[in-house]
Structure 1
Amino acid sequence: MRLTFDFLSNGGELGALMRARDWSTTPLGPPEHWPTLLKSTIRLILSSSHPMFLWWGKDLIQFYNDAYRLTMGPERHPSALGGRGRECWDEIWPIIGPQIALVMSGGGSTWNEDQLVPVTRHGKREDVWWTYGYSPIEDHEGVHGVLVVCNDVTARHNANAALERMNLALTEQITQREHAQRHEAIQTTQRLRAEQALREQREAETMRLRSLFEQAHGFMCILRGPQHVFEFANSAYLRLVGERTLIGKTVREALPDVVGQGFFELLDGVYASGKPYKAGDLRIELQQAPGGAPTQAYIDFVYQPIVENGAVGGIFVQGFDVTDRSMARQALQHSELRLKEGMKAARMAVWDWDLHSNDVVFSDNAPELFGASWTNMRHVWHCIDPDDLKRVELARREALQSNGSYSEVVRLRRPDNGQLVWLQVYATVVPDEAGHAACIRGVSIDVSARKRAEESLREAARHKDEFLAMLSHELRNPLAPIRSAAHLLAMAPDDTARVKMSSVIIERQVNHMTSLINDLLDVSRVNTGLVVLDKQVIDVHQVVLESVEQTQPLISERGHELVLDLPAEGEVALLGDRKRLVQVLTNLLHNAAKYTPGGGRIAVEVSHHGDTVELHVRDNGIGVEAMLMPHIFELFRQEKRSSDRSQGGLGLGLALVRSLVLLHGGHVTAASPGPGEGATFSVYLQKHALAGDGGEATRGPGSHAGEGLRLMLVDDNKDAANAMAMVLESAGHVVRVEHDPHHALDTVASFAPDACLLDIGLPGMDGNELARRLRASAHARAATLIAVTGYGNKYDKASAVRAGFDHYFVKPANTAELIGVLARIKPVRRARQEAPLAERIEG
C-alpha cells in the first residue's frame, strides 16, 4: 500500500516520485520522521513553478521540482532524486562544490549571474549559462541544507552575444558606408546596394533578436527616448504587467499604477547619466486587471542604456520575476519569528547538550529566562539547587540506559540578579548512528508563576483553616458562660441577684455571638453583590458622631483618650449610605480600640481637599508588621494575638471596610511604622457640594443637575470592567460594558454615550485606534474620551492625546479623581428618551 504525506502532496511528477520512493533505505529514513524544516522546504519546492533544487544534510541528499526537471537530461532524472550531491554532479563539482560548502558552513547565501556551468545532458556536453542563488536552510541549530533557485539563461546569454556581434557588424557596415560616400561619385550604384543590404541585415538581426528575446525566460523590453516609449516587450514582460497594450505608449501612460514607486525616476536617471542600474528582490505593485486591486511581485532587473552615435537613445530592460523566491524567504523568516515569539510567550527555551564535549547551546531567549546563556553544562549545574540536581542526574542516568526521555521540575538561581526560577525540564536522549547516546535535546519552561500560584493557594487554604478554627473557638466561647448562667437559673430560680446576673451574662454573650454572625453575613452579602446602597446626601460630621457613639463603651472600657478633629456640622457632605459609612468608621474605631493597649490614644481626623474627603483613624497601639501590611484588608487575615485571644473577633472587619468603601467609589489605605508604633487607617471618598444657604445638596461646577451620564466602558478584562461598572453605577451613572472594540463601534449609535472609558490594550484594535474611530463617528464625536490603562509612560500618554483622549488614568485609577472628572462632564444633548439611572447595559 502506498503511503501519502501532507507535505508531499501535489507537486506533479516529482511529487509522485517522492511519494512512491522507499525512503527508509536512505540516510533520511521514513518521511514521517523527517525534520519539520525539511518537510516545509520540500512543500515549498513542490508548490513552486520556479526551478528549485535542495541539497539536504551532510550527504547532500537531493530534491527538486518539475520546473527544475526540465533543465536535466535523462542522465540525471529521475536518478538524482534522493541521491548524493557529489556523486550526481561530479563533472561540475569543482565549480559548485565550494559554493555549497560555504553555505553549509554558515557563510550565508551566494548569487551568480550569467555563470557558465557546462553539463552533460541528452548524451552530449553542453555549454549552459545559469543565473542562480544558493540559500541556507537553517534554524537555531544551524544550517541543514542548501536551497537553489535558478534560471537557465543560455538563451539570454546567446542573445546578448548576438547583439554584440550585431553591433560589431553595424560598426563595420558604417565604416564601409563612410568609405563608399567618399567614392560616391563613381560608386553610386554600389553605395545604394550596400545601404539596402545594411538595412536588410539590420532588420534581419532585429527580427532574430526579438525572436530570441521572446523565447527568453526572463522579462525584457526596449524603451526609446526620454519619455521611455515602449518599442518592444516580450511575453514574459506582458505577463508581469497583466497583458496590457504597451507598444507606442510611454511608461507613465501604459503603467499608471506604478507611479510613485520609484521605477520611472530610476529610468530617468539611467537615461540622463548613461550608467546602467541594477537591483534585486525589489517589490513592485501592479494591477493585473483594469480597476482591480494591486498585487505585489518581487523582481530582479537591469536598466541598460542603449548608446547610439555617442548618445543614449533608449533603455534595454531585462529581469526576472522572483516572487516565489522572495515569498519563500519571507515565509521562512516569518516562521522563525513566530517560533521565537511563541517561545517567548511560553517562557520556554530549547537547548542541545553534547555529551562528549559537555558543550551546550541554548536558544537566543535564554538570557531573558535564566539570566545567562551558558556554553558548558557544568556552569548550568552550579546554578541549580543541589537537591534538585541529584534528582535530575538520577532521572538522566535512567534515560541514558534506554535512549529515552526524562522530565523534572528544578529550582535555578539566576546568576544576574539572584532570583529563584522554577523550571519544568523535558529532555530526550539522541543517539548516534551506532545507537550510542550522543547528545541530549531539551526544553526548559519557566513555571515560576505556577509555583507561586500553588504556594498562594496553599497559603490561602492555611488562612482559611486558621479562620475556621478561630470561628469555631469564637462561637464556642460564649456557649460556656451561657450554659453556666442557665445552670445558675435552674439551681436558684428564686434568687433575684443570680437571675439578674445570669440574664446579663446571657445577653452579653448573645450580643457577642450576634455581632460575629452579622459580620459573617455582611461579608457574604458584599462579596456576592447583594448589598444595595441607599445613597443620600449625608453630613460627614454626623457620620463620625454616630460611629463614636457606638464605639464609646469599648473605648471607655479600655481607658483610651479619643481626640476628634472634625469640620463644622454641615460643612462637608458625601453622597452615600449613612448606615454603611457609619459601619465603616465603627469597624475602624473598634479595630483601633482592640489593638491599642489600655490608656492609649485614638484620633479621628476629617479633612477635604478639592473633590476628595479624607477620614483618618490613628492610634498608638501595637502597630502592624511589614509582612502583614500588603494583606491587611484581605479576608481571614488578622494581626497576631496573645495566647489568651483577648481581642476577640474574626478578622473580618477590615475586609468589610474595604468592600464597603469600594462600593462608595472610594478607597482605603493602611500605614504603620512597625510593631509597637501604632497604625493609621485612611478612607478617601468623593465629596458632594452643598448649597451655601439652605444646606440642600446641589451639584458642583460643570455638573448636570439631577442627571447621571451615559458611560460606555470598553475593557477586555471582564473582572476589571465589571468592578469599575459597579463603582460608576454607584455614583448614579448608566453604564454599558463592552469587551470587544468592534462591537463597541457597532453599538455606539444606539447607546449614544456622554463619555467613553477605554482600555488601551484591547484585542484586535487598540484603544487609541478605537478613540480615533469614535471621534470620527457622528454618534460619539461630542463624547468625552477617557483612557484607563496599564500603560503609564509619557510616550503612551502623548499617543493617547494624539488619538483624541481628553483624560488619561493609569490603572489602578484613583476612583475619587475619576468620579470627580465625570462630575464635571455635561451630558451630550440628544432628542431621545433616556434609560433610567443605575441601569447596567451589558454588551
Structure 2
Amino acid sequence: MLHTNHSFLAGGGEMGALMRAHDWRNSPLGPPDAWPSTLKTLLRVLLSSNHPMFIWWGDDLIQFYNDGYRQTLGPERHPAALGQPGRPCWEEAWDLIGPDIERVMREGASAWYEDRLVPLTRNGRREDVWWTYGYSPIEDEAGIRGVLVICNDVTEDHLLRQRLQQTNHALIETMDDGFCLVELIDDADGRAVDYRFIEANRAFARHTGLVDSVGRTARQLVPNLEQGWVDTYDGIARSGVARRFEEGSEAMGRWFNVYASPIDHPDKRRVALLFTDITDKKNAERALQASETAARAAASQAEADRRRLDALLSSAPVGIVYVDEHGALSAVNRMNRQLWGEHPMSTSQDQYAEWRGWWADGSERHGRQIRPEEWALARALRGEQVEADVVEIQPFGRPHERRTLLTRATAIRAEDGAITGAVAASMDLTDQVDTQRALRESEEKFRTITDAMPQMVWSSLADGRNDYSNRRWLEFTGLDNSELLGTNWIGIIHPDDLPVLQALWADSLASGTLFEIEHRLLHHSGEYRWVLNRALPVREEAGRIIRWMGTVTDMHDQKLAAEELKAANARKDEFLAMLAHELRNPLAPISTAAQMLKLSGTDPKRIAHASDVIGRQVRHMVELVDDLLDVSRVTRGLVELECEPVDLKSVIHNAIEQARPLIEKKGHTLSTRLGAANVTVTGDRKRLVQVMANLINNAAKYTPDGGEITVCADPLPESGQVKLSVKDTGIGIEAALLPDVFELFTQAKRTPDRAQGGLDWAWRWCAAWSTCMAGRSRRIATGRDGAAASVSSCRSVPTARLAMTLAASREARSPRTRRCAS
C-alpha cells in the first residue's frame, strides 16, 4: 500500500505509478518523506491535472511531469526523463529554453510563448515542434526553488494555420474583388499617421492602379492621401468592429464598396480591406438620382456576393458539408452529392447509421464498417481535429458502386469557444486507388511473366543502378534480388571481363544505344559460365530514358561447342599436314631408286635392288593411304592392327631405307647397334616401320648438317622386352611441350630452318600409333636435364614384347634419344 507520507503522489495515471515506483534515495532530492511541502503540493496538482505540466526542481532542475506531458516526449526521453537533471535531458534544445529557465531561477521572472518552434528528436527522427508554453517560478520562504511549466504541443494547429493561410492566399488571388491587408503606422504619441500594405492581390492592383504596393506605405503610393482614410482604418482597428463603406472620388473616376475588418494581432493594428468595384453602381445612382435605386443596387450587390460564395462552394473540387451543433446537415455542395448520391439530409448524429462506409486506411481496422459515432463530422462535433480519414463508401442509390474518400473535418466555434457546428471536406481518391491497384496488378503480372521466362531478366534505373532481378537470377547465381541491387552485381562478373563491360555499359547509359556483350558470370556452383547480356532503354513519351530492361542468356554450352568445333577444324588441318608428311617419307627412297634405274644401265643387281625399293615403298604408301584417308577412324583411335610375327631386323632396315636419302643429303653419320635385332616380335609390321621411319626421319631433319644418328636395339631379359633407341645430336624437345606430347597433332613453334613441312614432332605420330597398339596406357615424366615420354603395354600372350622409349636431352651437344614403347 502507498505510504501515508506519499499520499501526494496518489493517482496521476502512469506517471503517478512511475513516481511512486521510482528509487529516489540516490537522487539529489532524497526520499519523498523529506521533500519540501511546496514540491509535494505542486506534485499533487501536477498529477491531478489533465493539462500537460512539467516541474524543474532545485539547482539540478530535477524533472517531474504528468501523463498529459508524457504524450509529447517520445521514447527518446520517456520514462528516462523522470528524476533526471534538466540540462542533459534537453541538451539539443537548451540554447532555446536554457536562458529562460536560468532567468526564472535567477530573477523569478515569468515567461510566456505562443506558437514557438522548438525542434526535438522524437520517435527516432528530428521534428519541427511548435509549442505554446509558460515558465513560472516556484517560490517558498527559502526563495526560488524551481520552475513550473504549463505547455501544449500546438504543432498540428500551427501546420493547419499554415495550410489555411496558403489556401486563403490562393482563394484571395482568384477573387475578382480587390483585397489588401494594411498595418497602421503610429507616431511617437501613438497616433496613426499612415498605413503600410502587408498583402494585396492582383485584383486590388487592377482596380486601384496601385501596383507593387506590398511593403510600401499609402503616402508613398498616394502622396496627397487624405488623413481621413487613415483615421477611418485606425478607428476600425481600435474598435474591433468591421465596417462597410464606399471609397472613391470624382478625380479617380472609380468607386469601390469597401468592407474593412479588424485583424487580431498581439502587437500590431491591422485591417483587412475587400474592394468591390461599384463605379457602375455609382454612375447609375447619379443617373437615376434616387436613393431607392441605390439601395436596390446595394442589395443586388450583396446578393451577388452570396451567389459568388455559393458558386465557389459549388465549383470546389471537393465535397463540402456543414452540420449544426446537433449534427443535422445544413448545407451540402454539388460535389458532395456526386460522391454520396442523393443522401437524406440527416437531422441528428443517430441518423449517420444510414451512411454505409468502411475504413480503408490500411490500419488494423481496415475493412471494418464505420460506426455512427466514428464519422469525421461526429468526431469534429466532439472537438476533435480530423486530419485524414481514408474511408470507402457506398453512395446512396448506387448499391454496386464503391468510392474511396479522404475526409478532413473541424469544429465551428463561437467567440466563446462553444461548438456551433462542424464542416467536413472530402476528396475523391477512387481513381488514385484504382490506379495504384492496377499498377500493383501490372507489376505482379510483369514479375510472373519474367519469372516464367527461361532467361535471366533485370532492370535498372536511368542512372544504371539495378532495381530488379527475376527468379532465374536466384537459380543461376544463388543470390536473391536484394543482393543484386544497386551495383552489387559487379561482384559476380569475371574480373577479366568487368572493365570492358563497364565501359560498354557507361557508353550505353550516355548514348541510349543497345547494350550487348558476351561475358562470364559466376554460377552458384562456383564456376564462371559464358552468357549473352543485352539491354534496351525504356523511354517516356518525351523520349527521356526512365529505365533499362535487360536479359541474360546462358550460352556457355554453345560457346564451348563453337570453340570445340574450331579446335576440331584446326586438328583436321594438322591431320592433312601429317598425311602429307607420312606420304612424303616413302617418296624419298622411291625417287632415289628411280635415279638409280637411270644410272644402272644394264646392271641386273642394281636394277633389281631399285625395283625392290620402289615396290616396297609403293606397297607401304598404299597401306598408309588406305588407313590415313579414313580421318574419323584415326582421330577416334579405331585403326585396327594386323598383328603377326615380325622380324625386327627387317623393320629397322626398311625404316633406314626410307630415311637414307635425307640422311645422305644432310651429311649425317648413321651408325647401328643391333645386338638384339635377330628377334621376332608380335606386331603390325607397317606400323612398326612407320614408327621407326618417323623417328629416324625426324632425327635427320632436326639435326644440324653433319650430325650423328645412332639406331640401337637392346634386349631387356628381365622383362622379356626389346628397347629400340634413336639418338641424335639435334635440338631436342622443349620442356614446355612435354605435357602435350601425347595429344594428337601438337606442333612446336616453327623456325625458318624448319621448312620441310609435316609435323614438327613426327615421333608424336609414333606415340599415337603406339597408344593404339598398347591399349592407351600412357605416362609422362620430366627430369632436370631433359624430358622423357613413354607408353607402356599389356598385350595378351605376346611372342615377344617390344619397348621403345622417346627422350630428349636439353644439353646442347649431348645425343638426343627418342623412345616409343609398345
Higher relative contact order, chain-length normalized (CA < 8 Å, sep 6+): 1
Relative to the length of structure 1, the TM-score reads: 0.31
* TM-score, normalised via structure 2 length: 0.31
Higher alpha-carbon Rg: 2
